[in-house]
């Protein structure tokens, strides 16, 4: 039987802006099983971060969740009161933010930021406040060792700006993992890093996932990363999921023209003669969108029939696509 950790159903998250109502996430549904790694891909502005900020209870005015349900281990999170959310966040679900420099507090040392999380959430710390602090300090040092900060004793009391970009990402992961959460949401953990550090950070997350039996959501622009680390993948476009399925099946045989476009824009070492084909055009404004396929204006397959609301439809085992004319011309691989 499936052990569902996270279930998002028909989530709609909006921002009430001067230009009108921006529907950043429009009817997103997904579920994640225990121990699974789910990749979430899509170009900038497709609603990846807003979807998972909604899960973390981090949508603030002018933003709001207009509709839908989010359950974590069968517990409803939409409408959860702020105190209950604070207990959950960091301890049971942790998220590493896209931009480590702005997510870390510049006024506190790295050690203080990890210790603070442990003091807030770790029930295994015992004794007086001073004793708890000492234990938390030891654990924090262990965490920094675990994420591969070289000579952590000497770096422990440095401030975030004294670390390189890769080190800051590791510190964020250390903070996120400090309380051994059951779900880790990693928002673009490696986008700002060079390729070798990128691989190290991803291997680190994969290793800890295995060790702790943690479930992981990996948000990324990079389908290569998804191919290597994720069991399943969802592809987002303009606030909606347009394709989902087991990673190997989606990559070998993408059904949505947008997924195919993403795959065609990846350079491949095995085929240097092939021209990279960027997807023409840009993501539509998310204000007052008409009821039609959102990819229509960029799609070579678009027909008049696409000018209607398009629902997700089955397209293979455990697979769905939001397209009236799905299919793979010529197949694909990464």
Ligand X SMILES: Nc1ncnc2c1ncn2[C@@H]1O[C@H](COP(=O)(O)OP(=O)(O)OP(=O)(O)O)[C@@H](O)[C@H]1O
The contact set with ligand X (CB under 6 A) reads 15, 17, 22, 24, 42, 44-50, 63, 98, 286
Q: Least separation, in Å, of the C-beta of 103 and Mg ion?
A: 12
- Select the binding partner of residue 47 from Mg ion, ligand X, none (C-beta < 5 to 8 A, by kind): ligand X
Q: Least separation, in Å, of the C-beta of 63 and ligand X?
A: 5
Taking the least distance from each CB to Mg ion, the nearer of 49 and 169 is 49
Q: What is the total count of residues that contact Mg ion (CB under 5 A)?
A: 2
**For the CA atoms of the chain, what is the radius of gyration?**
21
- Select the binding partner of residue 223 from Mg ion, ligand X, none (C-beta < 5 to 8 A, by kind): none
Q: Least separation, in Å, of the C-beta of 244 and ligand X?
A: 16
Q: Least separation, in Å, of the C-beta of 289 and ligand X?
A: 11
CA 20 – CA 38 distance, rounded (Å) = 32
Taking the least distance from each CB to ligand X, the nearer of 102 and 308 is 102
Q: Least separation, in Å, of the C-beta of 50 and ligand X?
A: 3
Taking the least distance from each CB to ligand X, the nearer of 45 and 332 is 45
- Select the binding partner of residue 286 from Mg ion, ligand X, none (C-beta < 5 to 8 A, by kind): ligand X
Exposed, middle or buried: residue 120 (CB in 10 Å: 0-12, 13-18, 19+)? middle
CA 107 – CA 120 distance, rounded (Å) = 19
- Select the binding partner of residue 260 from Mg ion, ligand X, none (C-beta < 5 to 8 A, by kind): none
Q: Least separation, in Å, of the C-beta of 52 and ligand X?
A: 8
Residues 40-59, interacting with Mg ion (CB under 5 A): 48-49
* β 313-314/320-321 pair status: antiparallel
- Select the binding partner of residue 160 from Mg ion, ligand X, none (C-beta < 5 to 8 A, by kind): none
- Backbone CA torsion sign across 8, 12, 14, 19: positive
* β 313-314/240-246 pair status: unpaired
Taking the least distance from each CB to Mg ion, the nearer of 48 and 319 is 48
Taking the least distance from each CB to ligand X, the nearer of 46 and 255 is 46
Any residues with CB less than 8 A from the CB of 99 and at least 6 apart, and which?
Answer: 192
- Select the binding partner of residue 37 from Mg ion, ligand X, none (C-beta < 5 to 8 A, by kind): none
Taking the least distance from each CB to ligand X, the nearer of 61 and 130 is 61
Q: Which two tokens stand for residue 259?
A: 């997924």
Pair 171, 144: CB distance under 8 Å? yes
Q: Least separation, in Å, of the C-beta of 92 and Mg ion?
A: 22
Closest CA relative to residue 334, chosen from 240, 257, 225: 225
How many Cβ atoms from other residues are within 10 Å of residue 137's Cβ?
16
Q: Least separation, in Å, of the C-beta of 219 and ligand X?
A: 7
Task: Compute, in degrees rounded to 10, the torsion defined by CA atoms 218, 221, 225, 229.
Answer: 20
Question: Angle at which helices 110-121 and 165-177 pack, to 10 degrees?
Answer: 10
With H, G, I as helix, E, B as strand and everything else as coil, classify residue 301: coil
- Select the binding partner of residue 7 from ligand X, Mg ion, none (C-beta < 5 to 8 A, by kind): none
Taking the least distance from each CB to Mg ion, the nearer of 49 and 111 is 49
Exposed, middle or buried: residue 328 (CB in 10 Å: 0-12, 13-18, 19+)? middle
Taking the least distance from each CB to Mg ion, the nearer of 95 and 310 is 95
Q: Which residues bind Mg ion (CB under 5 A)?
A: 48-49
């Amino acid at each position: 039987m499936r052990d569902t950790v996270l279930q998002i159903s028909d989530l709609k998250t909006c921002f009430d802006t001067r230009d009108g109502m921006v529907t950043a996430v429009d009817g997103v549904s997904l579920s994640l099983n225990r121990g699974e790694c789910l990749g979430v891909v899509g170009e900038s502005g497709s609603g990846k971060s807003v979807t998972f900020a909604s899960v973390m209870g981090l949508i603030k005015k002018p933003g709001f969740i207009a509709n839908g349900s989010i359950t974590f281990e069968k517990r409803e999170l939409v409408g959860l009161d702020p105190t209950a959310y604070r207990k959950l966040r960091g301890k049971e679900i942790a998220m590493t933010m896209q931009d480590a420099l702005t997510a870390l507090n510049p006024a506190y040392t790295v050690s203080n930021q990890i210790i603070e999380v442990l003091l807030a959430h770790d029930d295994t710390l015992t004794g007086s406040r001073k004793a708890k602090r000492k234990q938390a300090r030891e654990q924090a040092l262990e965490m920094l060792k675990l994420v591969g900060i070289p000579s952590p004793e000497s770096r422990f009391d440095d401030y975030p700006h004294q670390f390189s970009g890769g080190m800051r990402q590791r510190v964020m992961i250390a903070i996120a993992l400090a309380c051994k959460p059951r779900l880790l949401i990693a928002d673009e953990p490696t986008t700002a890093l060079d390729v070798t550090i990128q691989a190290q950070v991803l291997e680190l997350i994969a290793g800890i996932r295995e060790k702790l039996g943690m479930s992981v959501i990996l948000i990324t622009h990079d389908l290569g990363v998804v191919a290597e680390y994720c069991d399943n993948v969802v592809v987002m476009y303009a606030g909606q999921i347009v394709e989902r399925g087991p990673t190997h099946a989606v990559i070998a045989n993408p059904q949505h023209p947008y997924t195919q476009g993403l795959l065609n824009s990846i350079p491949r070492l095995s085929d240097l003669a092939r021209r990279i084909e960027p997807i023409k055009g840009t993501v539509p404004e998310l204000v007052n969108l008409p009821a039609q396929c959102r990819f229509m204006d960029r799609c070579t397959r678009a027909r008049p029939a696409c000018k209607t609301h398009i629902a997700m439809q089955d397209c293979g085992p455990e697979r769905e696509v939001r397209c009236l004319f799905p299919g793979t011309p010529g197949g694909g691989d990464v």
